[in-house]
Structure 1
């Protein structure tokens, strides 16, 4: 809570101690160029990062998708000969393993032991495929094994071992269902950073509530369009995924600060989508993205839903565990962020107490870390607001009243809020009732200075807290009348 206000006119002057010196004429051009470059770098790093990320993470894996190590079960003793022939034509495209017969070939596909299965026959060779794994991969398999069948004089018969839902003709419906839960979960965190009246607990509860709504709406909308089968167990999977994205994103905020948007978008958009196997099957993207597929939450959700909907629940538990691990990681990050904040507050209070014991000014403490900046959405800036009428998102986190020695309100008193190194954050004027308010203050210790020409200034150091409005009242005494000179 706030410390008692003290009579310290010198502190008020210290609050304005930060000044800017104009560069000399000889270095003015260089300083101006540096300032311009720095401004551009700070402003444009995020779109530049996004531009580069899309080129590397989308154009690179999607411009020419080709199969890589696609598992194919082949019935009969000709498996080794077929593998050699395919390697000659497309090195590394297919991994062939032998199964006993046509029934075993079919079961290998439905049991997710193989992506496809081929049964050689001089007249009627058969290919078992799973459209649930992606239409583009199914097309490549049909084209490849049609050519194989024609070389032996037969006509290929294609059997759909795992057809998709009627409304998912291209086999990409799951990707868009999952995508609808990805972007909003991340954007919700960015928007909640603006809610200065919400503390950490309320923000986490809000993210949980939004996840419930997103998972339910996504499931029932997709069901109404026949994009997915009727399997309600998909709802908890969708919910766990929303929390994996939202809680992990929120947990990253205290550690990456103004770079948080780049880190979160890099994780859950630039890296997750190409490696998910939803838009382009994972067997058709470069090795880097194939390596990410087993660990990223989006890929695990898509594989888990595929197993739940089309493969009799095969390996759903394994993918669910990976998603839950991301949720746990988010919870741990949030807890570490809270500990980091409390540790910084205790350290700041200790420094201030030691400084007070030495008789030093309370302003002479270590500067806090800068607040998080969001390059995509404008976060609330410290600003003076009317004490009793507040716009949406502009509720104050600092209020107070200024009175005279008789307890009467003092209008027109200047209230200056500075950071711990004297940088002015906001300036307000008390109204006719002697009241003032400020919103958007960073989550840190600030100095509040009340000053009026006819009265002695007063200063107090308070800790502005997100979601916990703090009140600081002042009493200003009249300046003593100097004694007349003889």
Structure 2
């Protein structure tokens, strides 16, 4: 009588039918890793130099909106036609018959300046500008109309409706704060995607991001205000605007990071800084850069933040709502995309888990089939 001792099944290695989720990812070839290593700095440097230099290397004024104000509408229209012929495409001359209306439009940043013609035989004209709206456009307007008044042999009095503060004499504070907010937004996501990917799930990410945005906005205000002295007062509005900017940039960065990982820095920095700085009206007037950047001024997050901070610092908060709406569109669109991406990945992960369970179930039941049945088959 012989007894058969069951022998363990031979191990033929991993089942080729096993789900792909259970296999280790194959490392890319060394050549590919080196190409990626070189592509990252190359893309950043080329974008920085190519985009920013092309937009700012040769400032030329174009279509700067300036009103010419006269006592009557026909006089204003006649003067405007004469100035358009003399100044060409550098200025967009608009006739007005109300000095109060001109002041309001300059203060609201709908005009870069207003040239009030002398009245009743007087020999003195008046020029309204707003330094808080940008020193570049103010200097262009003042220089041009000072020369014009000299040619007309009349005196010119200037009035700055929103003068720059002594601690922000070049009007650059809003730009540097905006750059700080942008960096706080995209750097935290870039680091988190590598060092703590478990926090990238929205239910964890959003609370962390809210805390981070608030914390960094307070830090930037403390640095620019009490420490450096470039900003005086306006603590809560500035902190709120900074947190909104950081939150929006972080959400946008997250969309790219879900596909590109650390390489998300390339499109995000290009979007927020390389394109944002020339179009921000912060360092150079948007009326002195190519029209492409002037168009982006009303679209990108950095210009929206720069103009919001300026509105608080120099214009009593007038105009903030429109720029906040721009940030809101970016944040809302990015949040929606993050939700869609996460749901899609969750669904794919669930499908892979079901495949793995089915495979395990089939493997277990194969061993339960009697030997006689398998032999008969």
Q: Decide which of 230, 235, 245 is 2:233's aligned counterpart.
A: 230
Helix, strand or coil at the partner of 1:227? coil
Helix, strand or coil at the partner of 2:166? coil
Who is 1:307 aligned against?
311
Who is 1:266 aligned against?
270
Who is 1:283 aligned against?
287
Helix, strand or coil at the partner of 2:67? strand
Gaps of 5+ in 1: 1-5, 21-34, 361-486
Helix, strand or coil at the partner of 1:91? helix
Q: Does structure 2 conserve the Cα–Cα contact (< 8 Å) formed by 1:73 and 1:114?
A: yes
Give me the whole-angstrom Cα distance separating, in 2, the residues matched to 1:240 and 1:8.
62
Offset at residue 78 of structure 1 (A)? 4.7
Offset at residue 81 of structure 1 (A)? 4.6
Offset at residue 175 of structure 1 (A)? 0.7
Give me the whole-angstrom Cα distance separating, in 2, the residues matched to 1:18 and 1:234.
46
Who is 2:211 aligned against?
209
Q: Does structure 2 conserve the Cα–Cα contact (< 8 Å) formed by 1:251 and 1:334?
A: yes
Q: Does structure 2 conserve the Cα–Cα contact (< 8 Å) formed by 1:72 and 1:116?
A: yes
Offset at residue 233 of structure 1 (A)? 2.1
Who is 1:183 aligned against?
183
Who is 1:142 aligned against?
142
Who is 1:96 aligned against?
93
Of Structure 1 and Structure 2, the greater strand share is in 1
Of Structure 1 and Structure 2, the greater helix share is in 2
Gaps of 5+ in 2: 1-7, 17-21, 365-377
Give me the whole-angstrom Cα distance separating, in 1, the residues matched to 2:318 and 2:130.
14
Does residue 61 of structure 1 match 2:78? no
Q: 1:88 to 1:53 in 2, by over 3 A?
A: farther
Q: Does structure 1 conserve the Cα–Cα contact (< 8 Å) formed by 2:67 and 2:113?
A: yes
Does residue 348 of structure 1 match 2:352? yes
Who is 1:72 aligned against?
66
TM-score (normalised: structure 2): 0.80
- 1:383-416 deviation per Cα after TM superposition (whole angstroms, max 9, x unaligned): xxxxxxxxxxxxxxxxxxxxxxxxxxxxxxxxxx
Give me the whole-angstrom Cα distance separating, in 1, the residues matched to 2:111 and 2:24.
71
Offset at residue 7 of structure 1 (A)? 8.6
Does residue 316 of structure 1 match 2:323? no
Q: 1:18 to 1:260 in 2, by over 3 A?
A: closer
Who is 2:162 aligned against?
162
- 1:178-229 deviation per Cα after TM superposition (whole angstroms, max 9, x unaligned): 2111112211111112333743243433322121112122224333345345
Give me the whole-angstrom Cα distance separating, in 2, the residues matched to 1:165 and 1:17.
60
Helix, strand or coil at the partner of 1:159? strand
Give me the whole-angstrom Cα distance separating, in 2, the residues matched to 1:18 and 1:268.
33
Give me the whole-angstrom Cα distance separating, in 2, the residues matched to 1:186 and 1:223.
23
Who is 1:42 aligned against?
36
How many aligned residue pairs are there? 341
Helix, strand or coil at the partner of 1:167? helix
Who is 1:123 aligned against?
123
